[in-house]
Structure 1
Amino acid sequence: MANKFKSGSAVKGGYYFNAIKWHVEPIAKDGDRLPEGKGEWMKVPTVVALALIPMLGLTFLMFLPLIGFVIFARALLSPIVNMFHRGATELASTVSPGWQPGEAHFTGKPAEGAGTEEKGPTGAEARLDALEKEIGDKRKS
């Protein structure tokens, strides 16, 4: 199992591979530091580094044209996709249901005369009225 090192760490001489950057860094002597940046570095044997470097380059050369075609297609299709997305959003806002999450439905019919009774003042309203009268009296005097 290979040891992993943080960027900027002082390490022994050898070859170190960063999978995030796809980079192999040679360290000439003990105590030199790995380059700064994101990702962890893994010490690899010299034979593996010599095989890994051409494979990384070949992979880059193979996928570079593909990446260019993908970016070009995305640039061409982006305005069309945005036009349909905008239309779909407007359509979805007009046909959305009128219900609210958390509302109670299917609870049966309301009882006869439910909600029609008149309610008198609550205790809090009576206290507020008394407080209002007291403040009015103090302002007059």
Structure 2
Amino acid sequence: MKAYSVDIREKIVAAHIEEKISIRQVALRFAVSKSLVQKLVKQQKSHGNLQPLKPGKPRFSHLTNAELELRELVSENQDATIAELCELLALKTGNWVSRTAMCRCLQKLGLNRKKKHCTVARQQLQEYKNSG
């Protein structure tokens, strides 16, 4: 469902605070739930505005600001697996990350973990099959 406009939100809160109408009566007047009115009044008091909040919980990753450390780890340990990189990062920074998070971060940074000798061998095998 789309968020209510700021204009409607302001009218709802103003009806409760300025007109001194109960939350239930405000909910009936604007055809919204009682919990929405409570939420908007609380948001006005705590945040000072009625802008729609971002949905969901904020997500935090230890890899967000660890680009430099990660690039160093990959360059120093070129043959390390993703699991080994997770362990090395935990030793270096004290923050443990999952293999999935490490893989996503490596992809974002363009640090491909596929070994070049595997692709060379695969190309040689393909050329051998095509020639014979």
TM-score of the superposed pair, with normalisation by structure 2: 0.24
Q: Which has the larger radius of gyration?
A: 1
Which structure has more strand as a fraction of its residues?
1
Which structure has more helix as a fraction of its residues?
2
TM-score of the superposed pair, with normalisation by structure 1: 0.23
